[in-house]
Structure formats: C-alpha cells, structure tokens
Amino acid sequence: MTFEQIISDLKNKIYKPVYFLSGEEVYFIDLITKYISDNVLTEAEKSFNQTVLYGKDTEIHTVINSAKRYPMMANYQVVIVKEAQNIKNIDDLIHYAENPLKSTLLVINYKYKTLDKRKKLFKAIQEKGVLYESKKLYDNEVPAWINGYLKNKNRTIDPGAGMLLTEYLGNDLSKVANELDKLIITLPDGEFNITTTHIEKNIGISKDYNNFELHKALTQKNVLKANRIVNYFSRNTKDNPFTMTIATLYHFYSKVLTYHFIKNKSDKRSVASTLKVNPFFIGDYEKAAKNYNPAKTVEIISLLREYDLKSKGHNNVSTPDGELLKELVYKILH
C-alpha cells in the first residue's frame, strides 16, 4: 500500500490488525505512526489501551503478549513498537501475525531495514495487515515533494528557492519538513510564497553564495561571480563542504551531457522529463550546453572525479579544499 492509501483508510476508520512499516525514509513511517497514535483512540481510552514499546528494551514475546490483550472500555487497543529493527528474532512474530486480534492495531516501526519477502512473516502480514516500505526520494524528486507539501498548507515556493533548500538539506524529508514549517511560521501576514530571501533570512543559507548560484555562474561563464562564490566557500568551508560542491557539480554536468544528446530539444516538457528537472530550469541546461560542448563537458566530469580523489588525499598531501576548489573552477572555465 502507498502512504496515501494507508492514511486514507485510517481517516475512514478502516483499520488493519498489523502495520509493518519499514524502509530508509523514516519521515513517512513516523507520520503513519503518529496518525495512529493520535487518532485511533480518544484521550480517555489511551490510558488503558495504548502501549509504546522500544526494540532495544523489549523482546518479541513481550510484543506478542501485548498485542494479544483485549481492549478495556474501548473498541480497539494500539500497540506501537519503535526501533523494532533492534528486536532479536523478529521472525517469531509469525506466531501472532498468522492469527492477529482484530481489536488490536499493532504498529511495527522497522526503520532503515526491510522485511525479507521470502519469509513466512512477510506473507502473513501481507495477507492480514499492511506492509509498507518507505523509500528515500532521489534528490531530483525533492523539489516536487516540497511543492506538494506546501500546497497542502496553502503555500507556494519559487523554483529557485526549492532547489536551494534541496541542495542545502538533501533528501532527509524530516529535516526538510521541519525547515518548511519554520518558513511558513515566519512568513509575514498576507504572504504565501517562499523565496530565497525568506530562506536566507530565516534558515541562514546565503541566497548569493551557494552551489546553485555557482552552477549559474559557471553556466554563464561569469568568471567574476564564480570567483566571488569560490572565495566565499574557501573562507567558509564548514558551511560549504567541498564534497557537497563536487557532488552537485557532478550532478549538474552529468545532466548537461545528457542534454547534448537529446534529439528533440524543442519540447521543453519532454526535455525536463528526460533530465528529471523542473521545466523552469531547462534554460540553464540549454545555456550550459552552448558554453560547454560535449568534449568539454566530458572533460569537466573527469576533472570532478580527479578533484574528488584529491580531496580524499589521492595525489595530494597538503592542498586545502578551498585551494582545490579554486583550481577546479579555473579549469572548468578555461
């Protein structure tokens, strides 16, 4: 089942006896768990009928015994097992999963791992309950997720601001959602759109000196702006780690190389789909392709690999990251 299907069923009070929530992206696991915790029982019912266990401190027979209890003065009881990936012999849950109580909602948080599909436990939960695997979004999927998150809160964000947040926060959705909530709270009355200015003011990410602006400067072959950004990065290496800059540049120039070999470049939406970017940014890749032919783009990708190795000590004993970045950007531009 998808996240949306699970939440929809819960809102309609369609409950399953077992919810096995697994995977790398903890954000959706926590949201489902919180919804069950907050909404299935009333506050009065929770005192006797809601139990929270922790995998580090419990054993599988304790989980099963808790799930087998009948609710007191309520239609349901809720048993939530957090950090369930730390429970030994999780496969023994099969003894309950094959015949669970319909009056219990057993919620298993199995974070950072997934259940082996070949096991009997997987098949039993699939038949009787809900199996949900929460997968990490790719970086290029995060801006669209941000748009959807804000739409549900009647807010919008500039494409550049969304890219800036993604670059700074990555694909950790819990962290992204937390920062978006902060931005929503700090928006002045009557303003509903988030810009790079709001991000700089409230999160501390510079709207002028960041990897996204470096990409733009390199795309335009704006030597002065690129050097200003590089010098800023060199003075603030802690907030602008070289490894992140290398990774984002590699991601960008890999897409520039892909753009070179797209046959039909007139259909912007098709190009955006191929590159997996917002159509708003197609102009940047078009401009970069004009300034960097395929051979130069391949050379840049090779340089990025070379300087990534140098930053890790390969053929480099003492050159600091800031100086490596200056060298790299010079070679990209010339």
Considering the domain architecture, whether residues 318 and 261 belong to the same structural domain is answered as yes
Considering the domain architecture, whether residues 130 and 150 belong to the same structural domain is answered as no
In angstroms, the CA 248 to CA 3 distance is 29
In angstroms, the CA 34 to CA 44 distance is 17
Strands (E), 25-172: 50-54, 77-82, 104-111, 130-134, 156-157
Considering the domain architecture, whether residues 112 and 216 belong to the same structural domain is answered as no
In angstroms, the CA 207 to CA 204 distance is 9
CATH number at residue 216: 1.20.272.10
Q: Look up the domain containing 237 and give its range.
A: 211-333
DSSP string, 49-85: HEEEEEGGG--HHHHHHHHTSPPSSSS-EEEEEETGG
Considering the domain architecture, whether residues 199 and 216 belong to the same structural domain is answered as no
Beta bridge partners of 23: 111, 134
Considering the domain architecture, whether residues 39 and 146 belong to the same structural domain is answered as no
Give the number of other CB atoms < 10 A from CB of residue 323: 12
Pick the last residue of a domain from 111, 134, 157. Answer: 134
Nearest Cα to Cα of residue 7 among 43, 40, 50: 40
Average pLDDT, the chain: 93
How much is the pTM?
A: 0.75
DSSP code of residue 277:
S
Per-residue pLDDT reduced to its tens digit, 143-201? 899 999 999 999 999 988 998 888 888 888 999 999 999 999 999 888 999 998 899 88
Considering the domain architecture, whether residues 166 and 274 belong to the same structural domain is answered as no
CA torsion sign for 116, 122, 126, 132 is negative
What are the backbone dihedrals phi and psi of residue 164, each rounded to the nearest 5 degrees, phi first?
A: -65, -45
Considering the domain architecture, whether residues 7 and 127 belong to the same structural domain is answered as yes
Per-residue pLDDT reduced to its tens digit, 229-253? 999 999 888 888 899 899 999 999 9
In angstroms, the CA 294 to CA 4 distance is 42
| Number of folded domains that form the chain | 3
CATH number at residue 49: 3.40.50.300
Per-residue pLDDT reduced to its tens digit, 257-278? 999 999 988 888 899 889 888 8
Which two three-digit tokens encode residue 56?
């580090």
Helix (H, G, I), strand (E, B) or coil at 44: helix
Per-residue pLDDT reduced to its tens digit, 74-121? 999 999 999 999 998 999 999 999 999 999 999 999 999 999 999 999
Nearest Cα to Cα of residue 34 among 129, 130, 107, 86: 107
In angstroms, the CA 322 to CA 217 distance is 18
Nearest Cα to Cα of residue 248 among 210, 275, 199, 290: 210
Burial class (CB in 10 A: 0-12, 13-18, 19+), 258: middle
Pick the last residue of a domain from 147, 178, 203. Answer: 203
Angle at CA 212, nearest 5°, toward 206 and 215?
Answer: 135
